[in-house]
Each structure stands twice: as structure tokens, then as C-alpha cells.
């Protein structure tokens, strides 16, 4: 009988319903059979081939943590590697992924008490922590119709903020680098007519909100 290496991580790329990621996150955490879930944007490339083992090692080092993230070219001040945002050649990012791991290995950086929150392109979340903070996240449901809450840019900030308030540890996996396309010209446009991406739906909400303000 083949024996899997623990802990197993459920990897998910949320999409629906109607761009409301909070509702999709709730579905994911109710469906999963695993304690740890990686929530990842569709415009992220994992460039370290050992990413899964690195995540497992992080969990084993801090099993009671609530949230892990990684470093990248586009993210918050905690996640961003200076100078990488303007590099478009993917080979540059592949080399950076190797360099970052060679320099940092499996080290973790504690951001549990940092004021600024994470960007959620890559969130490795403890399921117990999610259910502990879920009620804290419900405060934005009424604002969702106004185009504020269910989008891909604010729910992750709210998650990290709630983790800190509830006392769950948050860490950056310093040796794990990924490439985040994030807001390149056509990256968020759907390839299928009528099937809008989350970013396109969010842009529509922003425009509706602007028109309401004009009135």
C-alpha cells in the first residue's frame, strides 16, 4: 500500500459564483477533507518544483499557524521581491525562484504582528483557523452588492487581518518564489465569449459604482 507523505494539502483555484470569492471559499472549506488548503489565483506560476514539499515542511514547523504565503514579483510589502515586478522574461523568474531557495531554504518569516496585510494570490490556510474567522468575514456581505467585498482584492486582506485579531500565526515561506502576472494588459480577459473572469466581473462592479456616484 502506497503511503502518502503528510500533511496532504488541498490545492484550489477559486472562480465562482459570480466573482464572489467569499462564497467560493466557504464552499471549498466545507468540501475539503484535508486540514490545509492552498488558495491560489489563476494568474500564478509556481516556479519551484519542490513547492509542495516546502509547504509541508512549513506546516510541520508551525503546525498551529493559521496562514502561510510566499514571495513574488507582485504582492504586498511582505511578499514582494524588489526589482522583479518589471521583468517579463519568465526565465528571469525561474532563476529567481532557484536563487531565493538557495539563499533562504525553508526559513519562515513571522508577520503575525505586522500592520499591513497580505495579498491573497497564494494563501496556505489552516482549516481550523478558517472556521474560527469565518464569522468575522461576514461583515462585508451587504457591501458585496456595492462592489466592495466579494472581489479578489479585499477578501484576502480581510482574511489576514482576521487571523491576526484571532491570534493565529501568519508566516512568509521565505524560500518559495512564484510569478504573479497580476494586471498585465490582457491577462484577465476571458478566452471564452460570455464566460467572464473574476477580474472582468470585478471591473464591471467598479464601473457600476462609479456611475452611481455620478448620479
Q: Could you tell me the residue ranges of all domains in the chain?
A: 9-214
Residue 8 DSSP symbol: P
Choice between 146 and 55, residue whose per-residue pLDDT is larger: 55
Nearest to 150 by CA among 15, 5, 45, 9: 15
Cα–Cα distance, 152 to 150 (Å, whole number): 7
The pTM of the full predicted model, rounded to 2 decimals, is 0.85
| pLDDT on residue 185 | 52
The pLDDT assigned to 14 comes to 85
DSSP state of 139: G
Write the pLDDT tens digit of every residue in 153-202. 577 778 999 999 999 999 999 999 999 987 655 556 778 888 777 677 76
Return d(Cα 185, Cα 188) in angstroms, integer. 8
Cα 115 to Cα 152: distance, rounded to the nearest angstrom: 20
Instruction: Dig out the grid coordinates for 102 from the structure.
Output: 538557495
Task: Please state, for a pLDDT cut of 90, what percent of the chain lies above it.
Answer: 53
pLDDT at 209: 74
Q: Which fold has domain 9-214?
A: Spore Coat Polysaccharide Biosynthesis Protein SpsA; Chain A (3.90.550)
Question: Would the pLDDT of 144 be above 60?
Answer: no
Amino acid at each position: 500500500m502506497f503511503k502518502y507523505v503528510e500533511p496532504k494539502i488541498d490545492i484550489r483555484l477559486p472562480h465562482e459564483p459570480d466573482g464572489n470569492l467569499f462564497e467560493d471559499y466557504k464552499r471549498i472549506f466545507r468540501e475539503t477533507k484535508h486540514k490545509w488548503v492552498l488558495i491560489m489565483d489563476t494568474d500564478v506560476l509556481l516556479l519551484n518544483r519542490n513547492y509542495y514539499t516546502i509547504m509541508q515542511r512549513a506546516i510541520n514547523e508551525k503546525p498551529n499557524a493559521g496562514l502561510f504565503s510566499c514571495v513574488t514579483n507582485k504582492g504586498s510589502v511582505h511578499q514582494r521581491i524588489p526589482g522583479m515586478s518589471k521583468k517579463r522574461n519568465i526565465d528571469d523568474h525561474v532563476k529567481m525562484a532557484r536563487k531565493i531557495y538557495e539563499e533562504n531554504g525553508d526559513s519562515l518569516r513571522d508577520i503575525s504582528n505586522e500592520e499591513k496585510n497580505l495579498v491573497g494570490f497564494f494563501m496556505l490556510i489552516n482549516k481550523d483557523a478558517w472556521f474560527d474567522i469565518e464569522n468575522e468575514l461576514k461583515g462585508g456581505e451587504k457591501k458585496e452588492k456595492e462592489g466592495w467585498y466579494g472581489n479578489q482584492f479585499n477578501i484576502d486582506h480581510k482574511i489576514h487581518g482576521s487571523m491576526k485579531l484571532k491570534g493565529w500565526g501568519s508566516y512568509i515561506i521565505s524560500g518559495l518564489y512564484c510569478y504573479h502576472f497580476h494586471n498585465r494588459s490582457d491577462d484577465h480577459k476571458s478566452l471564452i465569449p460570455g464566460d467572464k473572469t473574476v477580474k472582468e466581473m470585478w471591473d464591471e462592479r467598479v464601473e457600476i459604482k462609479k456611475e452611481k456616484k455620478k448620479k
